Structure 1
Amino acid sequence: MALAGDRMGVGRGRRACHGGSAMKLDLSVKVNVYSAIVREFLEEVLRDVERRAHTSFTLFSSSITKRLSKIFKGQEVWNLLEFTKRWTDEVYDAASRLFGVAFRFSMRTMTRLTINTRDAYMPLEIGVAWHPYFNVPYIPATALKGALRAYFRSCSVEVCGLGEEELFGTWKRRGEEGGEREGVLRFFDALPVSCEKGLVEPDIVNPHYPEVEGVIDEASVRPRPLVYPAVPRGVTFSAIIAADLSEVKCDQGRFVARLLKEVQEALAGGLGARTSLGYGILEVKLDNFRWVGV
């Protein structure tokens, strides 16, 4: 299957901004968002250098966010989601054959999701995890694994006698003795497969103090609203977790029931950033699991 990124170009048409000669790339679901945003940002900076003007990073981020929220909804988005559904089907089949055990979870956002806010490849003041090939927001496998591992560690959770290190693996820090060991669980990126209204909506934070100065001075308060992209409520992600239990003896029903329970508990408090404010709450359900030759 060809990757979505292979079908997407950059800069398919441009249009003039209102009130100036600057040109903007026409963002669409058929244009690779990563490449388009980077290119537009660089062109804007170069124009401002020539004019000896200051580039407003805040206004640029706000403009991109609003355009993304208008674009990533409707029939064209559903076409993208049909592609991610087929891809997750293939990953699920391959994972079950390769590792012997595979779980497929549906994770529906009950509140806004803000994740990977400091994406090194997306020049926005506050970013979002964006898949470079499928051209949609997603939940990275590392974020999912990290959240579950932190929960298992803090609560000393075991599944069929397997603790944190057995499930998630160990690694050797510089200067430490001992070797690295891979855990029995394998994580894959969670891709969106359905949505109620769209995949992106604007959100806002309103910092009052410059973080770089590290000083709170009430007389110098300067509220600066920052508009950034977030995943809205009602987006369902398909998450696949595989397990290599070839060297582990455990009861199938017990392992499945306990792992599902702990995954639901781990994500009950939210995933991503701003969870203390109610962001990132997910409704987790087990869609299917396969236990092959274990």
Structure 2
Amino acid sequence: MEASSAKNSTQTLWVDYVYDTVVNRYSDTNTLNLFSLINISSIKVNTSDEKEKIKRSLLHSIARYSKRYSNEGGLAATRKHLNEFKIAYLSMGFAVLELDAKLTYRGLVGSSSSFGRPAFDVGLSFDPILNVPYIPSSSVKGAFKAANDTAKLLRDESVRKLDFSDAYPVDHGLKGYLLVPDVLTPHYTKGGKDVLREDEAVPVPVPYLSLAPDSVYRFMVGVGGVRPDDEFFKTVVKVFKLALECGIGAKTSLGYGVFELTKEPSVDMGVGNAK
């Protein structure tokens, strides 16, 4: 019994040491990787008697760091990454449709992803190399297809000609943040189980991270064999606008993931595609 207690005490001290070292040494620099921080912190969260307090502190620390990172030139790497996407599309003979759009409210994409889930039970799509949240191409394509299924403006074979890239932030959101603390409160639960009677429910708030309002994301689509004045190109833009207005990701019925364009969409035909 004493050996087990000593082992647990040693583990706790080790977790505290690693957590405090990482947070205190790197929190004020661009060398802190949020993916690593949140994984280390999840151990502390799940071994502490003050889980909720640590969760709240961690949420605000990550939000503050996302603000510092985006304001100290961190987004330059995402713009470079997107430009490399564009060059790759053009080299394959695609025209490139480019749209910049900002979140009208918060955003939640990839809630089952590993980033954030061990600590907060709700994940978020996050690029550990670029150290920023992003919107996977699969989510963008899904939203586009859903919008087209509603509007019925493009045939399925036309949609299959489109190649969607991941979307990345190119400008920070409200008050300079990329990520903000959020909370979900399941009302009809008790002890982690669903209940039918409201008077039996014991709601437990679930804190998590979401994309900051007003964050600007760049979406790109590779379009084969299209000219800027083609009716097909105009239709693609129309469907994409509808997809952005309907929302991408989770909780769209509550206004999450809804975007509005910040400028007119542009197209780059490349040298090989020019008229």
- What range is the shorter-chain TM-score in? 0.7 to 0.9
Counterpart secondary structure, 2:257: coil
**Equivalent residues in 2 for 1:233-272 (5 A)?**
233-245=213-225, 252-272=229-249
**Equivalent residues in 2 for 1:210-221 (5 A)?**
210=189, 213-221=193-201
What letter is aligned with 2:219? A
Q: Shift of residue 151 of structure 1?
A: 1.8
Counterpart secondary structure, 2:181: strand
Q: Shift of residue 157 of structure 1?
A: 2.4
What letter is aligned with 1:216? L
Counterpart secondary structure, 1:268: helix
Q: Give the match for residue 10 of structure 2.
A: none
Give the total of aligned pairs. 247
Q: Which runs of 5+ in 2 are unaligned?
A: 1-12
What letter is aligned with 2:114? A
Please give the TM-score of this superposition, normalised by the length of structure 2.
0.79
Counterpart secondary structure, 2:56: helix
Deviations 1:165-223 (A, max 9, x none): x134xxxxxxxxxxxxxx21111111111114210111112222338533223332212
Q: Give the match for residue 94 of structure 1.
A: 88
Give the Cα–Cα distance (whole angstroms) in 2 for the partners of residues 275 and 266 of structure 1: 11
Q: Give the match for residue 6 of structure 1.
A: none
**Larger % of helix: which?**
2
User: 25-34 or 143-152, which moves further after superposition?
Assistant: 25-34
Please give the TM-score of this superposition, normalised by the length of structure 1.
0.74
Q: Shift of residue 252 of structure 1?
A: 4.1
Q: Which runs of 5+ in 1 are unaligned?
A: 1-15, 169-182
User: Does residue 167 of structure 1 match 2:168?
Assistant: no
Shift of the 157–251 alpha-carbon distance from structure 1 to 2, 3 Å rule, reads same
User: 78-87 or 36-45, which moves further after superposition?
Assistant: 36-45
Shift of the 78–252 alpha-carbon distance from structure 1 to 2, 3 Å rule, reads farther
Deviant stretches of 4+, over 6 Å: none
Q: Shift of residue 286 of structure 1?
A: 4.1
Identity across matched positions, percent: 23
Q: Give the match for residue 39 of structure 2.
A: 38
Q: Shift of residue 139 of structure 1?
A: 0.9
Q: Give the match for residue 202 of structure 1.
A: 181
Q: Shift of residue 137 of structure 1?
A: 1.0
User: Does residue 143 of structure 1 match 2:143?
Assistant: no
Shift of the 78–167 alpha-carbon distance from structure 1 to 2, 3 Å rule, reads farther
Q: Give the match for residue 3 of structure 2.
A: none
Q: Shift of residue 250 of structure 1?
A: 7.6
Q: Give the match for residue 290 of structure 1.
A: 268
Q: Give the match for residue 6 of structure 2.
A: none
What letter is aligned with 1:289? V
Give the Cα–Cα distance (whole angstroms) in 1 for the partners of residues 93 and 115 of structure 2: 32
What letter is aligned with 2:34? V
The answer to whether the 8 A contact 1:192-1:236 is kept is yes
Q: Shift of residue 43 of structure 1?
A: 5.4
Q: Give the match for residue 4 of structure 2.
A: none
Counterpart secondary structure, 2:232: helix
Give the Cα–Cα distance (whole angstroms) in 2 for the partners of residues 103 and 153 of structure 1: 21
Q: Shift of residue 61 of structure 1?
A: 4.0
